[in-house]
């Protein structure tokens, strides 16, 4: 049974509790710079959303790795960085077209691993914008958000005298 983050951008308030929780899990400190989930804040379009690895089917990060340092957790389906194996070449960072693979300051790759099935970001989210389900709704929510941001952007352009 796979684990997936389900996201409803309409519920995001931009509070960063997910970033705080994630950074806590990564580092044992509150440090959003180390968070693997990033909140997009688009004030002009009044659009906010948390954004992290979709655990996509193509797994660009995993396939590109020269040392097979990214593997699949059979329980959650998450693609997990094996720290002992990673050499820090950062190919996953440039190969991931979603921008959700990162390189830590200590030169190890890092990405969302769904916290082993119990994502801290979802626990921390105060508005149920991030919840946990069995399948991802990535296609649906990114599509919906794209329409919303585009529409408000167009309204803004049309308004410029």
* 145 near other proteins, judged by CB under 8 A: yes
* Shortest distance (Å) from residue 128 CB to other proteins: 12
- Interatomic CA distance for residues 64 and 85, integer angstroms: 14
Would you say 88 and 109 are in contact if contact means Cβ atoms under 8 Å apart? yes
* 7 near other proteins, judged by CB under 8 A: no
CA angle, residues 98, 55, 97, in degrees to nearest 5: 15
Selection from 30, 23, 34, 50 nearest residue 120 by Cα? 23
Among 1, 4, 6, 13, binds other proteins (CB under 8 A): 13
* Shortest distance (Å) from residue 77 CB to other proteins: 7
Q: 34 or 130, CB closer to other proteins?
A: 34
- Interatomic CA distance for residues 46 and 48, integer angstroms: 7
Among 4, 5, 7, 20, binds other proteins (CB under 8 A): 20
* 139 near other proteins, judged by CB under 8 A: yes
- Interatomic CA distance for residues 79 and 111, integer angstroms: 8
* Shortest distance (Å) from residue 26 CB to other proteins: 7
* 133 near other proteins, judged by CB under 8 A: no
* Shortest distance (Å) from residue 8 CB to other proteins: 12
* Tokens 């919906």, located at residue: 144
* Residues 38-97 contacting other proteins, CB under 8 A: 38, 40, 42-49, 51, 54-59, 62-64, 66-68, 70-75, 77, 79-80, 82, 85, 87-91, 93-97
Selection from 45, 38, 34 nearest residue 16 by Cα? 38
Please list the alpha-helical segments (H only) found in 42-137: 60-64, 91-95, 120-124
* 131 near other proteins, judged by CB under 8 A: no
């Amino acid at each position: 049974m796979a684990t997936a983050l389900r996201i409803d951008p309409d519920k995001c308030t931009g509070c960063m509790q997910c970033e705080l929780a994630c950074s806590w899990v990564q580092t044992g400190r509150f440090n959003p710079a180390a968070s693997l989930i990033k909140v997009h804040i688009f004030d002009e379009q009044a659009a906010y959303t948390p954004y992290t690895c979709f655990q996509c089917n193509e797994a660009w990060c995993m396939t590109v790795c020269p040392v097979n340092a990214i593997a699949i957790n059979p329980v959650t389906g998450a693609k997990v960085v094996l720290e002992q194996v990673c050499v820090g070449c950062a190919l996953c960072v440039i190969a991931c077209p979603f921008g959700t693979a990162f390189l830590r300051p200590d030169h190890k790759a890092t990405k969302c691993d769904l916290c082993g099935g119990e994502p801290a970001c979802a626990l921390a989210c105060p508005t149920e914008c991030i919840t946990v389900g069995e399948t991802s709704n990535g296609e649906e929510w990114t599509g919906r958000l794209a329409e919303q941001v585009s529409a408000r952007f167009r309204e803004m352009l049309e308004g410029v005298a």
